[in-house]
């Protein structure tokens, strides 16, 4: 399966979810490739920060040719995760055309909900060519027990795309793990962050089928 983690808004958690999803799929025994489609190369930085053996392969491909190269790139892998770019529309479009499932991270903030309309439009455009394209929202950086956390699902309803049941809570361990090029489960195996990522991965694998 090819998962595209996309949202032209920066800072919503595309890279955080991409690396942890890739790590979680790897832990299940799958061969995973992470494609960094962001010219800033954050997923490549993540890989470079790691001292131990990499969990999965990471390649940088910040060019709007991902959809043309994907079948070649994906050949030796069970799953591919594409960490999407901010802004650059032609890159985002290419990543969407390459993917089977689009995951749109959004933070529970009205600005993020409004900003999602750009990526939703790109997904709608691509759906014309790709009948089986699936797209879902994933709420990230939810702050536990806040009204805005609860209301976000309702606010997203206007987009007519499903919202994953699993949301990812705001937790310092995500930044701590990233600084060492590690997945959250490597830093705190039994922690709540690792559990949420595991649930997110399970839900996405189900959506992909």
Q: Footprint of ligand ADP on this chain (CB under 6 A)? A: 10-16, 42, 86, 140-141, 168, 170-171, 174-175, 178
Considering the complex, what minimum distance in angstroms separates the CB of residue 154 from Mg ion?
27
* Residue with smaller CB distance to ligand ADP, 8 or 26: 8
Considering the complex, what minimum distance in angstroms separates the CB of residue 107 from ligand ADP?
8
Enumerate the β-bridge partners of residue 146: none
| Rounded Cα distance, 140 and 134, in Å | 19
Decide if residue 14 touches Mg ion (CB under 5 A).
yes
Find which of Mg ion, ligand ADP, none residue 24 binds, CB within 5 to 8 Å per kind: none
Find which of Mg ion, ligand ADP, none residue 171 binds, CB within 5 to 8 Å per kind: ligand ADP
Single out the residue of 20, 42, 107, 140 in contact with Mg ion (rule: CB under 5 A).
42
Q: What are phi and psi of 127, to 5 degrees?
A: -60, -25
Contacts of 178 (CB under 8 A, 6+ apart): 15, 16, 19, 46, 49
Other beta carbons less than 10 A from residue 72's beta carbon? 8
* Residue with smaller CB distance to Mg ion, 15 or 24: 15
Decide if residue 7 touches Mg ion (CB under 5 A).
no
Find which of Mg ion, ligand ADP, none residue 201 binds, CB within 5 to 8 Å per kind: none
| Rounded Cα distance, 168 and 98, in Å | 25
Task: Please work out, in degrees rounded to the nearest 5, the angle formed at the alpha carbon of residue 167 by the alpha carbons of 163 and 171.
Answer: 150
């Amino acid at each position: 399966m090819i998962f595209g983690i996309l949202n032209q808004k920066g800072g919503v958690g595309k890279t955080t979810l991409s690396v942890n999803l890739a790590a979680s799929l790897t832990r299940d025994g799958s061969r995973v490739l992470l494609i960094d489609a962001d010219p800033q190369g954050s997923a490549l930085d993540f890989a470079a920060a790691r001292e131990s053996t990499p969990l999965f392969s990471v390649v940088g491909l910040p060019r709007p040719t991902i959809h043309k190269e994907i079948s070649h790139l994906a050949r030796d892998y069970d799953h591919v995760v594409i960490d999407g770019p901010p802004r650059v529309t032609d890159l985002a479009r290419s990543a969407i055309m390459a993917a089977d499932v689009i995951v749109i991270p959004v933070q529970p903030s009205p600005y993020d909900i409004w900003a999602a309309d750009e990526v939703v439009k790109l997904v709608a455009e691509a759906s014309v060519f790709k009948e089986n394209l699936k797209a879902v929202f994933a709420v990230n950086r939810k702050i536990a027990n806040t009204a805005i956390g609860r209301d976000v699902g309702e606010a997203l309803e206007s987009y007519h795309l499903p919202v994953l049941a699993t949301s990812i809570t705001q937790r310092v361990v995500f930044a701590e793990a990233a600084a060492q090029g590690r997945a959250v489960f490597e830093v705190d195996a039994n922690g709540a962050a690792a559990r949420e990522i595991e649930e997110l991965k399970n839900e996405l694998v189900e959506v992909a089928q």
